[in-house]
Amino acid sequence: MSCFWGSRPFNVLWQAATKRGDGIGAWGGRVSVVSVLNYKGGVGKTTVTANLGADLAYRGRQVLLVDLDPQASLTFSFYEADYWDSRLRPSKTMLHWYDSYNWSPSVRPLWDLVTTPPRVNARLGKHGGRLDLIASDLGLVDVELDLAAGLGGSRYQTFSPDYVKVHRLLADALEGPAFSRYDVVLIDCPPNFNMVTRTAVVASEHILVPAKADYLSTLGITYLRRRLTELVEQYNSVAGPNPETSINPVILGVVFTMVQYAGAGLMTKIRRYMDIAAETEVPMFQQAVRESKSVFADTGEHGIPAVLAGHTTDNVQHDLTELTSEFIAKAKV
C-alpha cells in the first residue's frame, strides 16, 4: 500500500524531491537517530518531539518521527483519531511491526509503516524538507511481555541466544537503505525502560531528555543515566568488543519544559531545581521552553505543531525555534 502526501504517491514524491535536491543526503553521513526519553510522564516529551521534528523539516531536513508511546500522543499530533482508527490502526502501526517479530516467520519491513502527515507537510513551504511518521498503538503495552518471553521470560536474560537480536530489532530496521534518505529520526519513547524503550536506545546515537524543573524530574535524571549506563554495559558485554556491534548512545542534553517566569527572570524555585539538575553532570540545553497551556495541553492544531502554527505566542515560538537551533548544533544534523 502506497503512502500519500496530498494526492501524489509516496515514491513519486521522493523521486521529485531527489530531482530538486531538497536536502536528501545534503546533511551528510549516516542517519542521526535520537530517542526522546524520560521516566516521568507529563514533562512535555511528545510536545518537544513534535515541535522539534516539525521545525527541523521546516528548515529543510528530512525527518522521520517514530511513536513508541502507547498513548499515541505524537501520532495524534498529526492525525485525527478517526483517521488513525480507520486507516492506521488496522495495519500501519508499530504494534504490527513488533507483532510480526513475535508471531510470524519474518519481520515485516518497517518502511511499509511510514506515513506522511499532509497538513504539516503542506505548511513547510517550497524550501522545507519533509516530515514522516510511523504511528503508535495502544496495544504496544502488551509487546513488552511478548519480547521478554522471547528472552526466557526476562529482558535481563543475557544468556539467551536472541538477546542481541531482540535488542537490535529497531536498530537493524533503521539501518535499511530506505531510511538513509532521512537526516534525523526522532523516537518518542514510553515513560519507562521496558523492552520497547531498550530497542529504541540500542538504535540511537543520542538521547534527548525533556524534564520539568521539579523534585521528581531531578531525581529521574540521575536514575535514567544509571539505567542507560547499565544497558550499554550489559549489551556490549554480550555483543562483544567489535565497534560495529557495540553501542554508545550519548545523552545530548536535558531540555527543561513548562518553565515559569517571574517578571523578566525564572522563578527562584525553578532556578534552584535547574541548578541541582546541572550538578548531576548530565549535559543541559541552554534553551528552555516556557509554560503554555495551548502548547503543552493540546496535541496540535489541526495536525500542525505550535512551532509552525500562526496562533502561537511569540515567546513560546521563540523558545521552540531556539531549541531547534541548539539541537542542530549539538546533534550536528
Residue 216 pLDDT: 72
* Residue 13 included in any domain: no
Residue 245 pLDDT: 82
* Residue 95 included in any domain: yes
CATH number of the domain bearing residue 168? 3.40.50.300
Rounded-to-integer distance, Cα 286 and Cα 283, Å: 9
Q: How many residues in the chain?
A: 333
* Residue 120 included in any domain: yes
Please report the DSSP string for 26-93 in residue order: TT-SS-EEEEE--SSSSSSHHHHHHHHHHHHHHTT-EEEEEE--TT-HHHHTTS-HHHIIIIITTT-B
Residue 150 pLDDT: 79
* Residue 232 included in any domain: yes
Residue 127 pLDDT: 80
CA distances from 165 to 34, 117, 289 (A): 20, 31, 38
Can you read off the three cell numbers belonging to residue 327?
539541537
* Residue 17 included in any domain: no
Low-confidence ranges of the chain (pLDDT < 50): 1-28
Residue 93 pLDDT: 98
pTM, entire model: 0.87
Residue 61 pLDDT: 97
* Residue 6 included in any domain: no
Domain with 56, as residue range(s), is 26-331
Residue 29 pLDDT: 58
* Residue 203 included in any domain: yes
Q: Which residues contact 174 (CB under 8 A, 6 or more apart)?
A: 31, 33, 110, 185, 203
Q: Which residues contact 215 (CB under 8 A, 6 or more apart)?
A: 273
Residue 41 pLDDT: 77
| DSSP-assigned letter for residue 250 | E
* Residue 18 included in any domain: no
Residue 20 pLDDT: 31
Residue 277 pLDDT: 60
Number of structural domains (the chain) is 1
Alpha helices in 209-278 (DSSP H): 215-239, 268-278
Residue 202 pLDDT: 97
